[in-house]
């Protein structure tokens, strides 16, 4: 099944790519990010990781990106947790490890990250990094569909319904819907 890929902050891409910020100014921004990242700022660590991922103001380096994603992810930064999971899922800058991918998808999904919820649902549906579980797949895909927009919402709903039609009993569907409602109640937006 299709998975969603990297979460990127729009300002980061816009500054470097669309507005044509001079190279010297980008170096200054990278130096500032590096200083803040080394001091432990999760946001700076995440933004620095994105720069390494896409080669913005630094040489593209997936290993360095994964290192900075991890530092931010360990502080609970949901986008960093998602991107670290993607790194594990696809073996980008780090050894491919489906179990670790699921671990990080779950941490981000529990914070309401829709792409992580989607990918966690797909992991449960496919049995990649975790045992197949149609109820959990349905629940996470349902949550992703509830907060996604446009094409993302449609794809999550399509995969949720496909899972239900293919392998679930009415009782399992009811259980998954109940779990999704309980999750939403425990995690108000």
Residue 43 exposure: Cα atoms within 13 Å on the Cβ side: 4
pTM: 0.86
32 vs 22 pLDDT, higher one: 32
Longest dimension (CA), the chain: 61
Rounded distance, CA 157 to CA 147, Å? 11
Number of helices (H) and strands (E), helices first, in the chain?
A: 10, 0
Q: Encode pLDDT of 51-67 as tens digits.
A: 999 998 899 999 999 99
**Greatest mean pLDDT among 8-12, 41-45, 149-153:** 41-45
Given a contact cutoff of 8 angstroms between Cβ atoms, the answer to whether 127 and 1 are in contact is no
At residue 11, the pLDDT reads: 46
Dihedral angle sign, alpha carbons of residues 68, 11, 16, 23: negative
**Quick check: 26 pLDDT over 90?**
no
**Quick check: 139 pLDDT over 90?**
yes
Q: Encode pLDDT of 67-95 as tens digits.
A: 999 999 999 999 999 999 999 999 999 99
Rounded distance, CA 176 to CA 185, Å? 14
> For all residues of the chain together, what is the average pLDDT?
89
**Residue 19 vs residues 15, 26, 161: alpha-carbon distances, Å:** 5, 11, 42
- pLDDT level of residue 4 (50, 70, 90 thresholds): low
Given a contact cutoff of 8 angstroms between Cβ atoms, the answer to whether 28 and 17 are in contact is no
Burial of 2 (0-12, 13-18, 19+ CB in 10 A): exposed
């Amino acid at each position: 099944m299709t998975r969603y890929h990297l979460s990127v902050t729009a300002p980061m891409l816009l500054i470097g790519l669309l507005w044509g910020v001079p190279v010297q100014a980008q170096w200054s921004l990278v130096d500032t990010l590096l200083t803040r990242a080394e001091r432990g700022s999760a946001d700076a660590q995440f933004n620095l990781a994105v720069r390494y991922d896409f080669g913005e103001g630094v040489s593209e380096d997936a290993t360095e990106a994964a290192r900075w994603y991890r530092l931010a992810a360990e502080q609970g930064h949901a986008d960093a947790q998602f991107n670290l999971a993607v790194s594990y899922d696809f073996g980008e800058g780090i050894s491919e490890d489906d179990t670790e991918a699921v671990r990080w998808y779950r941490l981000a999904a529990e914070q309401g990250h829709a792409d992580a919820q989607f990918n966690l649902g797909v992991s449960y549906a496919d049995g990649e990094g975790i045992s197949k579980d149609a109820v959990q797949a349905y629940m996470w895909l349902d949550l992703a569909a509830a907060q996604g927009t446009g094409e993302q919402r449609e794809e999550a709903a399509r995969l949720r319904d496909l899972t239900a039609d293919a392998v679930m009993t009415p009782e399992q569907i009811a259980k998954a819907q109940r779990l999704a409602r309980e999750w939403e109640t425990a995690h108000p937006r």
